[in-house]
Structure 1
Amino acid sequence: MDPHWSSLGEVAVVSVGATVGIVIVFSLGVRALAAVEEGGEPGDGKRPGGGGSTAYGARGAGAGRPGAPAVAVAGLCFLACAAAVFYGLYLIVPQFH
């Protein structure tokens, strides 16, 4: 029995690529939820916390809560990750076909 090395390589490349893609999309979702800090917008270069007496900076009531667009983007990212996971399970479990 001879292994098909090209098929094995193809499966390895696709699985590594899918794994990296899912991790990146999940990370973008987490980043979208953590994007809003005290007056800072995503990518403005401000460090979170802004200097207060606590370890994470002084926050007022409601400060640091993500807005609706950030929650929507995060939700879409997490939904895409869940869809990829469920599609993988669909491919693996033969009773689903």
Structure 2
Amino acid sequence: MDIDWAALGQVFGVSLVATVGLVGVFTLGIVNGSAGKSHGGSASALARTGAYACYALCAAAVAYGIYIITAP
């Protein structure tokens, strides 16, 4: 049995970057969605739109991952 360590390292690196990036985008969505709410106000329309865009990007990444896993 021969393990291709270079390919394994590439898979590990790409999955690490993708995971950290996706968590960062989701966190940015949470921060944008709660902007201004700590002072009793509601989030501005721009911040709310940014939060929705971050959530949509996360959903698209998850959907793409599921598509790759289930593709014939």
The structure with the largest helix share of the pair is: 2
Residue ranges of structure 2 left out of the alignment (5+ in a row): none
Per the alignment, residue 11 of structure 1 pairs with 11
| TM-score scaled by length of structure 1 | 0.69
Identity across the alignment (%): 44
* Residue-pair matches, total: 72
1:67 aligns with 2:33: no
- Corresponding residue for residue 22 of structure 1: 22
Task: Tell me, yes or no, if structure 1 residue 2 matches structure 2 residue 2.
Answer: yes
Q: Which has the larger radius of gyration?
A: 1
Write the letter of the residue equivalent to 2:8: L
Q: Given the alignment of the two structures, is residue 91 of structure 1 paired with residue 63 of structure 2, yes or no?
A: no
Which sections of structure 1, spanning at least 5 residues, go unmatched? Answer: 38-47, 50-62
| Higher RCO structure, 1 or 2 (CA under 8 Å, sep 6+) | 1
**RMSD of aligned C-alpha atoms?**
1.3
**Residue 58 of structure 2 aligns with which residue?**
81
